[in-house]
């Protein structure tokens, strides 16, 4: 299974028997067999017919529509979810159970913190010149882990306080990232809406795509992407997708570091915009998409395994419902 990336202005996406065919300026591109597709990602403008959307939905092929200037503004379409409604009832029951909900939320923060500590250690091994700020970030992360193993191990600690620990871990992780990224990128910490520098622009796009992948995976397994445990319910927020991707954010941050460290992406691939945003250009996006699919393939497999394990856990924790009749 694969992803079809479409990033051209004035592109037509046509449905032909068993395939999608991109057409640009009257020239046909290479057909993409529907049987091999798992998702289609459209960046920018593209014309397609309603029957094409219907064909994608019928086959369970996800469609993501992303604004290249504002990656956080996106829409997605998925086909029918798994038909077992009892799984969603189990998910809802767990979300309404304070103890079970807290346990899942704490595990997500714990996994994220552990990966951030491992990332800081890898950075320190490869960048001894940045040892001081990296050591400081590592100490902050170890303090968060001590809190998770101590007071936060008790559900009475509370979800709000737990989210505070997650925020502290994130800030420490971004301070480590700042220490190893090239100063010319101008990365001073996580900023978005709009992202003002190349590193933030790359992070925003990668987070958006990973979030879509998590939402699609949850949907495919029959879960409701809106009902999460760590992230509070909010209008339009796919809280479960955010929960699923939270432990993997450090992998994205480490990957972005490697992209710039290996000079696959450079500052010249980006352009400042009048609104203060920094935009990844066409050549840079081509590099980004290929690297995203190839480099992060193990992460995507782990995300599926993680979701499958969550499904088993929800089923095991919730007794089967009885027919009231």
- Mean pLDDT, all residues of the chain: 89
Tell me how many domains the chain contains. Answer: 2
In this prediction, residue 80 carries a pLDDT of: 62
Q: Does residue 323 lie within any of the structural domains? A: no
Q: Does residue 322 lie within any of the structural domains? A: no
Query: Among 227, 239, 212, which Cα is nearest to 63's?
Result: 212
Q: What is the DSSP string of 8-27?
A: -TTEEEEEETTEEEEEETTE
- pTM for the model: 0.86
Given pLDDT bands bounded at 50, 70 and 90, which one contains residue 46? Answer: confident
The DSSP output letter for 235 is: T
Statement: residue 9 has pLDDT above 80: no
Statement: residue 322 has pLDDT above 60: no
> Range of 42's domain?
2-77
Provide the percentage of residues in the chain whose pLDDT is more than 70: 93
């017919």: which residue's tokens?
Answer: 49
70 and 93 co-located in one domain:
no
Q: Does residue 261 lie within any of the structural domains? A: yes
| Tokens representing residue 122 in the block | 């890898």
Of 105 and 237, the one with more pLDDT: 105
Cα(106)–Cα(149) distance, integer angstroms: 10
22 and 63 co-located in one domain:
yes
Final residue before a domain boundary, out of 36, 61, 77: 77
Helix runs in the chain, H state only: 50-58, 85-95, 98-126, 131-149, 159-180, 198-220, 239-245, 249-261, 282-295, 297-317
Query: Which residues are CB-contacts of 298 (< 8 A; sequence separation ≥ 6)?
Result: none
In this prediction, residue 317 carries a pLDDT of: 78
180 and 226 co-located in one domain:
yes
In this prediction, residue 304 carries a pLDDT of: 93
**What are the tens digits of pLDDT across the range 220-275?**
899 999 999 999 888 778 899 999 999 999 999 999 999 999 999 999 999 888 88
Cα(58)–Cα(13) distance, integer angstroms: 17
**What are the tens digits of pLDDT across the range 61-92?**
888 887 766 666 667 777 666 667 889 999 99
Given pLDDT bands bounded at 50, 70 and 90, which one contains residue 101? Answer: very high
In this prediction, residue 74 carries a pLDDT of: 64
Residue 117's CATH number? 1.20.120.920
Judge contact between 19 and 33, C-beta under 8 A.
yes
31 and 100 co-located in one domain:
no
170 and 285 co-located in one domain:
yes
Provide the percentage of residues in the chain whose pLDDT is more than 90: 58
Burial label for 65, CB within 10 Å (0-12, 13-18, 19+), is middle
Segment 291-317 mean pLDDT: 93
Cα(298)–Cα(94) distance, integer angstroms: 29
Given pLDDT bands bounded at 50, 70 and 90, which one contains residue 14? Answer: confident
Judge contact between 45 and 7, C-beta under 8 A.
no
- SS3 at position 59: coil
Statement: residue 12 has pLDDT above 80: yes
Q: What is the DSSP string of 40-55?
A: EEEES-EEE-HHHHHH
Judge contact between 123 and 130, C-beta under 8 A.
yes
In this prediction, residue 48 carries a pLDDT of: 83
Residue 56's CATH number? 3.100.10.20
305 and 190 co-located in one domain:
yes
The DSSP output letter for 3 is: E
239 and 104 co-located in one domain:
yes
Segment 280-291 mean pLDDT: 90
Segment 38-43 mean pLDDT: 83
Q: Does residue 229 lie within any of the structural domains? A: yes
Given pLDDT bands bounded at 50, 70 and 90, which one contains residue 161? Answer: very high
Segment 88-98 mean pLDDT: 94
């Amino acid at each position: 299974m694969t992803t079809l990336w479409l990033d051209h202005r004035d592109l037509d996406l046509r449905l032909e028997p068993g395939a999608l065919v991109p057409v640009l300026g009257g020239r046909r591109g290479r057909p993409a067999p529907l049987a091999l597709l798992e998702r289609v990602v459209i960046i920018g403008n593209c014309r397609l017919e309603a029957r094409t959307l219907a064909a994608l939905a019928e086959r369970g092929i996800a469609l993501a529509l992303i604004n290249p200037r504002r990656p956080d503004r996106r829409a997605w379409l998925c086909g029918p979810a798994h038909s077992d409604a009892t799984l969603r009832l189990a998910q809802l029951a767990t979300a309404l159970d304070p103890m079970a909900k807290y346990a899942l939320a704490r595990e997500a923060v714990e996994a994220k913190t552990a990966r951030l500590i491992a990332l800081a250690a890898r950075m320190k091994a490869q960048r001894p010149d940045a040892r001081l700020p990296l050591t400081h970030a590592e100490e902050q992360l170890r303090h968060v882990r001590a809190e998770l193993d101590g007071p936060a191990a008790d559900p009475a600690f509370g979800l709000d306080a737990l989210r505070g620990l997650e925020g502290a871990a994130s800030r420490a992780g971004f301070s480590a990232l700042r220490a190893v990224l090239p100063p010319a990128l101008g990365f001073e910490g996580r900023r978005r809406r709009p992202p003002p520098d190349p590193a933030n622009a790359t992070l925003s796009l990668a987070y958006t795509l990973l979030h879509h992948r998590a939402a699609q995976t949850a949907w495919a397994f029959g879960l409701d992407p809106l009902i999460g445990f760590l992230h509070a319910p909010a209008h339009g927020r796919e809280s479960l997708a955010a929960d699923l991707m939270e432990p993997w954010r450090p992998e994205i941050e480490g990957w972005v570091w490697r992209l710039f460290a290996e000079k696959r992406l450079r500052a010249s691939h980006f352009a400042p915009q009048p609104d203060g945003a920094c935009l990844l250009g066409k050549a840079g996006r081509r590099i980004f998409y290929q690297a995203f699919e190839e480099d992060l393939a193990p992460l995507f497999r782990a995300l599926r395994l993680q979701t499958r394990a969550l499904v088993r856990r929800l089923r095991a924790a919730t007794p089967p419902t009885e027919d009231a009749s």
